[in-house]
Structure 1
Amino acid sequence: MTTAGVGRSNRGRVLAALRERQPASRAELAAETGLSVATVARIAHTLTAAGLLVEETAVGDGGGRPLGRLRIDDNAAEVLAVDVADHHTTLAFLDLGHTVRWQRRLDAGQGLSADERLQHTLAAIREAWRSAGRRRAVAIGVSIPGPVQADGTIDFAPSLHWHGVPLGSLLRGSFGVPVSVDNDANLIAVAEHAAGTRSGASSLVALAVFEGIGAGIIQSGTLWEGAHGVGGQIGRMLLGGDSIDRFYVDFGDLESQLGSVGLERRLHEAGIDLGGQAEVFAALFAHLDGEDPRLRGFAERVLDEFAAALANVCALLDPEAIVLAGRFAPLAARLVPELERRLTGRVLHVPALLATSTPVEGTLLGAAVRAFAAYGPIEQLLDES
């Protein structure tokens, strides 16, 4: 190996060691990498000048001279995270420390065709990428409300009217950077596992309630995607025996009854008027303690149906925690006791039920985590410094 090759390899070893345990002193890095302290010091100087490392000073427990500790600069790289939601698209640049550096939300409006929504999404991503300027943007991560294949092809996203859209290949062809396209519920689970109150949990389920309903599953500390990349499609559970007589092309049986669109339809069919409030779940569950027996009974029945689905999830997965996401997140304080009561005595172990807790919106944070994973080892930044 040439001298230049040895130098690059050594710099990569230091960066890799810092990614595993940071901050670290030069002596600690020398012990970790097998390099001399002098060599680590020279590498630290080079990487700091290149904007990849920063140095922190701290006084040890015994006092005395401040100790210099190195860490990878969060500003060394960013990814563009994109949340393609039911009626809007949110875009954000996040750095290595998962801090949002720039964010924008664009309403997509109502009634767009599948192609119009796709063009709206691609235009939003192009504009955001152009605005990156001097940012070290290295990858793109996208959240989609529907199942996604490993190559970034969207099987279907009913709220977007998308079927078989090769979004991953479209973005790779346009931008020439690594791209990750994932299901929104999966990304919320990834985010919670990375930075939520149950971070590092061995088993966790994120229940994402929007127009449709999905679940992201963390098992043995990793995202469980199933044989075809569509694990966690809780919305396709069958609610009853008569459901077997029907076929489900877009929304599945459970989400066609309990997603926001299905719930609004059921309320209309029952002749129940919630007063035109925009958020149907908040409006309905406000009547759990209400005086109107009809509204209270409807709200109770909907929660019974959600609890039955979660009981099946518990029976199969025995999760440590179930995170209530999407439309349920702001209602968690009210819904957790109701769901716990319904699960008690129906499952062997009632999991912890809690609201989403990440510092950044789960779909964006999860998309960023997966985008950095698609980019690969942090040592690649050496090629760009």
Structure 2
Amino acid sequence: MSAPLTILGIETSCDETAASVVLRDADGHGEILGDVVLSQLEEHSVYGGVVPEIAARAHVEALDTLIEEALARAGKTLKDIDAIAATSGPGLIGGLLVGLMTGKAIARSAGKPLYAVNHLEGHALTARLTDGLAFPYLMLLVSGGHTQLILVRGVGEYERWGTTIDDALGEAFDKTAKLLGLPYPGGPAVERAARSGNPDRFVFPRPLVGEARLDFSFSGLKTAVRQAAQSIEPVTEQDIADICASFQKAISRTLKDRIGRGLQRFKTEFSDLSCEPALVVAGGVAANQALRTTLQSLCDANGFRFIAPPLQLCTDNAAMIAWAGAERMAAGLPSDDLAVAPRSRWPLDATAQTLLGSGKRGAKA
């Protein structure tokens, strides 16, 4: 049992500006006291994607007000806050600078410790906030920038079992939507179109299915979608619906194979686990209901508990950042020096082999 902790969280890694106040009680249970998220969807939709400079400027304009509102909703002042947690990476460097510098300023002026949080760790620990999940468990992170299967052993202890070797799943959704003339963001647009489509009309590839390694690949699937659309031009609304439905079916079958192998590995490595094993899905693509249904069925068949946090906690939010800070503080992990710098690339498992995006900024995955 540890002392109750009240943490202010700040999230500005992409195109959502967010602030939140979260309580971690003495028994380790979490409660969101105040949570505010401002979306920049309208600002970026005309460009078909996030424009980093526009995002950074929007964070500057909104963040102070959102922090004040989160504190007001929680009924707290800075005197009641035990620490500040701010996303320090990975993400767009301009946005990260805004959030982290704001966190530093508050920490310095209020005399509070600062936790520079890995955005991915926020996703990894969200199920402990919402469901009180015990370690260890598996997490499937599916977003615009990441597709990873991660073993979560404990706070600060993460082992990457699989990652994308090319496109992330969210990127594949966005590029497919753009190719078909669907609006941004692509994921929800593809899902909506797929509801009236025939998933058996097109047979798309299922990359890496059958391989023992647990990595993912979606670049070839995206190429197959383009070729299918070009072969029947001009495409009708029904053609688009059928392509989207077939695209989602291929993804579901790919995940069924990739994640199914991961579940079996987990059961082998943790055969003496006293509680029910669990798979957590996180990230923006986790909002897709077809993929959730696939993962739920897979978990049911393998004796796993399936946890999908509420939709507002799957996409970028500050509650998960505040919670990650609380978890790190409760675990006795050190706070960060005010000289800490943002990192546009920051793998959750720093020991994993680099498969994608290695360079001056570090490994992407």
TM-score range, shorter chain: 0.5 to 0.7
Partner Cα distance (2:167, 2:144) in 1: 11
By how many angstroms is 1:339 displaced?
4.3
Structure ID, larger Rg = 1
> In the alignment, what sits opposite 1:27?
none
- Residues 78 and 90 of structure 1: is their aligned pair in 2 closer, same or farther, counting only changes over 3 Å? same
The answer to whether the aligner puts 1:371 opposite 2:335 as a matched pair is no
Within the candidate set 268, 279, 282, 1:325 is matched to: 282
Unaligned segments of structure 1, at least 5 residues: 1-18, 21-71, 144-151, 239-252, 379-385
> In the alignment, what sits opposite 2:83?
139
The answer to whether the aligner puts 1:300 opposite 2:300 as a matched pair is no
By how many angstroms is 1:78 displaced?
2.9
Q: TM-score, normalised by structure 1?
A: 0.52
Partner Cα distance (2:184, 2:63) in 1: 34
> In the alignment, what sits opposite 1:83?
11
Query: Contact 1:322 / 1:353 at 8 angstroms: preserved in 2?
Result: yes
Query: Contact 1:203 / 1:217 at 8 angstroms: preserved in 2?
Result: no
Unaligned segments of structure 2, at least 5 residues: 203-241, 271-276, 333-365
- 1:101-116 equivalences in 2 (<5 Å): 101-108=33-40, 109-110=43-44, 114=52
Query: Contact 2:7 / 2:84 at 8 angstroms: preserved in 1?
Result: yes
The answer to whether the aligner puts 1:356 opposite 2:309 as a matched pair is yes
Partner Cα distance (1:162, 1:284) in 2: 34
What's the Cα RMSD here?
4.4
Partner Cα distance (2:313, 2:176) in 1: 33
By how many angstroms is 1:187 displaced?
1.6
Partner Cα distance (1:321, 1:162) in 2: 36
- Residues 331 and 118 of structure 1: is their aligned pair in 2 closer, same or farther, counting only changes over 3 Å? closer
By how many angstroms is 1:288 displaced?
6.7
By how many angstroms is 1:186 displaced?
2.5
> In the alignment, what sits opposite 1:190?
125
Cα deviation digits, residues 199-228 of structure 1 (max 9, x gap): 3333323323332234474544445335xx
Cα deviation digits, residues 294-328 of structure 1 (max 9, x gap): 43432221223333442454465458222233444
Cα deviation digits, residues 359-380 of structure 1 (max 9, x gap): 97785443223323455699xx
The answer to whether the aligner puts 1:172 opposite 2:104 as a matched pair is yes
By how many angstroms is 1:192 displaced?
0.6
Partner Cα distance (1:359, 1:264) in 2: 20
Partner Cα distance (1:237, 1:125) in 2: 33
The answer to whether the aligner puts 1:265 opposite 2:200 as a matched pair is no
> In the alignment, what sits opposite 1:30?
none
One-letter amino acid of the counterpart of residue 297, structure 1 = S
- Residues 125 and 312 of structure 1: is their aligned pair in 2 closer, same or farther, counting only changes over 3 Å? farther
Partner Cα distance (1:101, 1:340) in 2: 30
> In the alignment, what sits opposite 1:237?
164
Partner Cα distance (1:325, 1:337) in 2: 14
- Residues 300 and 129 of structure 1: is their aligned pair in 2 closer, same or farther, counting only changes over 3 Å? closer
Partner Cα distance (2:82, 2:311) in 1: 23
- 2:82 alignment partner, SS class: strand
One-letter amino acid of the counterpart of residue 320, structure 2 = G
- Residues 138 and 329 of structure 1: is their aligned pair in 2 closer, same or farther, counting only changes over 3 Å? same
- 1:202 alignment partner, SS class: coil
Cα deviation digits, residues 323-361 of structure 1 (max 9, x gap): 2334444444x434534667999xxx5644342259977
- 1:189-228 equivalences in 2 (<5 Å): 189-196=124-131, 199-215=132-148, 217-225=150-158
> In the alignment, what sits opposite 1:40?
none
- Residues 310 and 164 of structure 1: is their aligned pair in 2 closer, same or farther, counting only changes over 3 Å? same
Query: Contact 2:177 / 2:189 at 8 angstroms: preserved in 1?
Result: no
Within the candidate set 279, 294, 314, 1:338 is matched to: 294
By how many angstroms is 1:285 displaced?
4.6
Partner Cα distance (2:201, 2:285) in 1: 23
Partner Cα distance (1:309, 1:165) in 2: 36
By how many angstroms is 1:87 displaced?
2.2
- 1:118-133 equivalences in 2 (<5 Å): 118=56, 120-121=58-59, 124-129=62-67, 132=71
> In the alignment, what sits opposite 1:35?
none
Partner Cα distance (2:67, 2:193) in 1: 40
Partner Cα distance (1:91, 1:208) in 2: 22
- Residues 354 and 291 of structure 1: is their aligned pair in 2 closer, same or farther, counting only changes over 3 Å? same
Query: Contact 1:178 / 1:375 at 8 angstroms: preserved in 2?
Result: no
- The number of aligned residues is 263
Partner Cα distance (1:275, 1:113) in 2: 16
* Larger RCO (CA under 8 A, 6+ residues apart): 2
Query: Contact 1:189 / 1:205 at 8 angstroms: preserved in 2?
Result: no
- Residues 115 and 134 of structure 1: is their aligned pair in 2 closer, same or farther, counting only changes over 3 Å? same
